[in-house]
Structure 1
């Protein structure tokens, strides 16, 4: 059912990931960008504000009917939780308290993780930093779909299902393709999260926990804010593997749309990424870019030239 994509394999590259060399070139021409490095002291207060808002909403929605609860989860709770997921992304880069306070960042990441229901903060940091360092690596970059995913979800209807199921693929793909020995902090993350989930269920109710959990799942699938998962690295123009999004949803997603800028300068907090673009416009203005995450989702599903295979991959140099 639906039109098959024209690709039957990933796009293979035999050069290094592009951002390390771009970083050196840009800094040589624009050394002033170094002034943007370092954490944003306001970031942690924004996260605390979102946590407080979600706490209030949990108490409010516990008396909703089930249809209203699901609607609230999709339209409100899921958006806040998706923003908190991207806060965890910022924290993975030590943007809450700076590189000098690694453990404080880890604990804060577990705290920001709480409304999302699924414990992922510590594991995400481990895999995400390798995504930066080994972008496109066939083993180490677990952001890339597997061959099984690409083959099973290769037509319009399949891609629609794949987008809806994105949270499951993101959660379980690393465990299958690149499993790691669980760390002590990951175990602590799981225990803290399970205690929190139990307390919400016990003292506020099943609807409250459903609001949080269903919202997290829905807002990672067929949802406008989830468009960034596809817009960031899926190849909409041949030869380009990272894309920025310059649209209004950056306001509620810590500027994750500025993705070329982020990969070029992961030490720059999201709040300052627009300044990177302003300081070095010649490196960003002419790159292929997106302006609507909803359009990204539509094009991904409907365009036969785009699909799970539309990623640039590199042969792995082996495991460390």
Structure 2
């Protein structure tokens, strides 16, 4: 169980990411896919409903016994909060109100951030767009683990701990890899979020705050939905840097499992990504994919050839325009 994995560095490649070329090929053959682009009119109402449900849950847990509070935090709160982070991912692509209302999307993401407890939506958008433009880019794509993560979390037990601590590493990684000046919107995100947290504590005490924050940490740590963190880009098969998942948890995650389709067409809302796969089936049917995020987590921990180093990384050419 304590054996070190064989990999001691990333998988360095000297080719461009595959998504831009595949997008051109698909659009040339199936121009009707352009009609799938644009906002999802249902997204804003779904997000409002989710925020309302969590606020109701905050009220319901305020007098609950601790054992039941922790039970419902993991069983319900963690699922909803992780789902909310993926709603924020959707909004970061302007799919709530469209590209013509970019600022409205950003403020709406701050609203969607409220039940999560940790102010991150404004920062997430800035870094996530880099992830799409410069997938695997050295010093730019903060989805890539640091050298320390790859070096240290190299045994089965350490990989298990690493998965539990995923939220921590996602928070710290940007500061280590690609720090950016703090924007006014990020400051607003922090002030609004901590004001909400304080109001929640003042109204209903510490238990709703624990339910909220623990739900976010547990939901993005050792949790079935967190399999998507590993499934999306960790190189289970050499030569493949993005993988899709077609299992039932897509229903809770805005189809984030359709990840090849998402990187090919980031302006298409998650609700319409299955149509992309259906229309351009010959481009996706032969790509490696998953049907279980739980199995992805298990295989990642147990396979001694896999580690945080199991990522494709590339040196970026020329000038990189970052926000």
For normalisation by structure 2, the TM-score amounts to 0.97
Rounded to whole Å, the distance in 2 between the matches of 1:169 and 1:260 is 24
Give the structure 2 partner of residue 15 of structure 1. 15
Verify: 1:306 aligned to 2:275, yes or no. Answer: no
Rounded to whole Å, the distance in 2 between the matches of 1:62 and 1:126 is 35
Rounded to whole Å, the distance in 1 between the matches of 2:270 and 2:280 is 16
Give the structure 2 partner of residue 288 of structure 1. 288
What is the Cα deviation at residue 305 of structure 1?
1.4
What is the Cα deviation at residue 67 of structure 1?
2.1
Give the structure 2 partner of residue 144 of structure 1. 144
SS at match of 1:101: helix
Rounded to whole Å, the distance in 1 between the matches of 2:303 and 2:3 is 9
Give the structure 1 partner of residue 72 of structure 2. 72
Give the structure 2 partner of residue 50 of structure 1. 50
What is the Cα deviation at residue 3 of structure 1?
2.5
SS at match of 2:136: coil
What is the Cα deviation at residue 5 of structure 1?
1.4
Give unmatched runs, 5+ long, in structure 1.
Answer: none
How many residues end up aligned between the 2 structures?
320
Deviations 1:92-121 (A, max 9, x none): 000110111111101100000001011001
Verify: 1:223 aligned to 2:242, yes or no. Answer: no
Rounded to whole Å, the distance in 2 between the matches of 1:185 and 1:68 is 37
Rounded to whole Å, the distance in 2 between the matches of 1:185 and 1:309 is 33
What is the Cα deviation at residue 66 of structure 1?
1.7
Give the structure 2 partner of residue 253 of structure 1. 253
Please identify, of 128-137 and 50-59, the stretch whose mean Cα deviation from structure 2 is larger: 50-59
Deviations 1:158-205 (A, max 9, x none): 100000000000011001211000001110010000100100011111
Rounded to whole Å, the distance in 2 between the matches of 1:306 and 1:62 is 42
Deviations 1:106-148 (A, max 9, x none): 1100000001011001100000000000000011100000110
Give the structure 2 partner of residue 166 of structure 1. 166
Give the structure 1 partner of residue 315 of structure 2. 315
Verify: 1:125 aligned to 2:125, yes or no. Answer: yes
Give the structure 1 partner of residue 270 of structure 2. 270
What is the Cα deviation at residue 56 of structure 1?
1.1
Give unmatched runs, 5+ long, in structure 2.
Answer: none
Rounded to whole Å, the distance in 1 between the matches of 2:30 and 2:304 is 40
What is the Cα deviation at residue 62 of structure 1?
1.3
SS at match of 1:34: helix
Rounded to whole Å, the distance in 1 between the matches of 2:68 and 2:147 is 38
SS at match of 1:232: helix
Give the structure 2 partner of residue 178 of structure 1. 178
Give the structure 2 partner of residue 115 of structure 1. 115
Give the structure 1 partner of residue 3 of structure 2. 3
Rounded to whole Å, the distance in 2 between the matches of 1:209 and 1:140 is 34
Deviations 1:211-231 (A, max 9, x none): 000000001011000110000
Give the structure 2 partner of residue 25 of structure 1. 25
What is the Cα deviation at residue 319 of structure 1?
5.0
Verify: 1:279 aligned to 2:279, yes or no. Answer: yes
SS at match of 2:99: coil
Give the structure 2 partner of residue 235 of structure 1. 235
Give the structure 2 partner of residue 199 of structure 1. 199
Verify: 1:135 aligned to 2:117, yes or no. Answer: no
Rounded to whole Å, the distance in 1 between the matches of 2:264 and 2:59 is 41
Give the structure 2 partner of residue 85 of structure 1. 85
Verify: 1:104 aligned to 2:104, yes or no. Answer: yes
For normalisation by structure 1, the TM-score amounts to 0.98
